[in-house]
Amino acid sequence: QQQVKQSPQSLIVQKGGISIINCAYENTAFDYFPWYQQFPGKGPALLIAIRPDVSEKKEGRFTISFNKSAKQFSLHIMDSQPGDSATYFCAATRNFGNEKLTFGTGTRLTIIP
Amino acid sequence: GAVVSQHPSWVICKSGTSVKIECRSLDFQATTMFWYRQFPKQSLMLMATSNEGSKATYEQGVEKDKFLINHASLTLSTLTVTSAHPEDSSFYICSALTSGRYQETQYFGPGTRLLVL
């Protein structure tokens, strides 16, 4: 009930391409879905987040698509750059973020020239 | 804004000693902080939720007597690994909760790498 499933585990994308990472959740009580970016040896950094009352949110090259009925959400990185190479975690929480995060298993993204 | 620091960033200690890790919210007050543990190439595992002025809430399977958490002020939480053993070697990360316009958001510290010899 508390799981967040994330795929793929690893992803290689050419520079300039679109990187897509998918997550699915089970608990319908989740109401806040952030994405975090983590570089090796560093703590996760908040990238973008969405609430279920919208189907899409865009910030620069990063877009979250949200499908409430399917209980799925995804991160799209447009015009992917080598600097985007990192591990990405989706997460979900309840009470508009006021409770603990349930993390996905992570996606290691590599952008090749 | 929303900066969280951790100290130390690296610590190496002998087996049997205790190690204290500090987590500070630098530009905001955090009534709630979280402590995570992360093994290489794995996701973050929540260890405990720390609330200012009250006892921490530990996740199932986390030994509260081994991982002592103190949240004595609105900007500081500490994690003490008592009688550390090599299996406690890991990357420990804290986060602090801050209020936004529509939701609360967790901001993470840079992490502390612990190596127990």
In this prediction, what percent of chain B has a pLDDT beyond 70? 96
Q: Please indicate whether, in this complex, the C-beta atoms of A42 and B43 are within 8 angstroms of each other.
A: no
In tens, the pLDDT along A95-111 reads: 777 788 999 999 999 99
Question: Rounded mean pLDDT of A7-32?
Answer: 96
If DSSP codes are grouped into helix, strand and coil, which group holds residue B81?
strand
Of A29, A21, A8, nearest to A65 (Cα)? A21
- Angstrom distance (rounded) from CA A74 to CA A88: 11
Residue A103 near residue A58 (C-beta atoms within 8 A): no
Q: Name which of A43, A106, A108 is nearest B109 (Cβ-Cβ).
A: A43
Question: What residues in chain B have per-residue pLDDT under 50?
Answer: none
What's the confidence (pLDDT) of residue B102? 61
Q: Name which of B34, B107, B110 is nearest A46 (Cβ-Cβ).
A: B107
**Is the confidence at residue A8, as pLDDT, over 80?**
yes
Q: What is the DSSP string of B38-56?
A: E-TTS-EEEEEEEETTS--
What's the confidence (pLDDT) of residue A2? 65
Residues of chain B with C-beta less than 8 angstroms from the C-beta of A90? none
Cis check: omega of the bond before A52, within 30 degrees of 0: no
Substitution target in B21, B43, B60 with the highest count of A β-carbons within 10 Å is: B43
Q: Please indicate whether, in this complex, the C-beta atoms of A51 and B4 are within 8 angstroms of each other.
A: no
Weakest-pLDDT range from A43-47, A66-70, B13-17, B96-100: B96-100
What's the confidence (pLDDT) of residue B1? 66
What's the confidence (pLDDT) of residue A98? 77
Question: Rounded mean pLDDT of A4-28?
Answer: 97
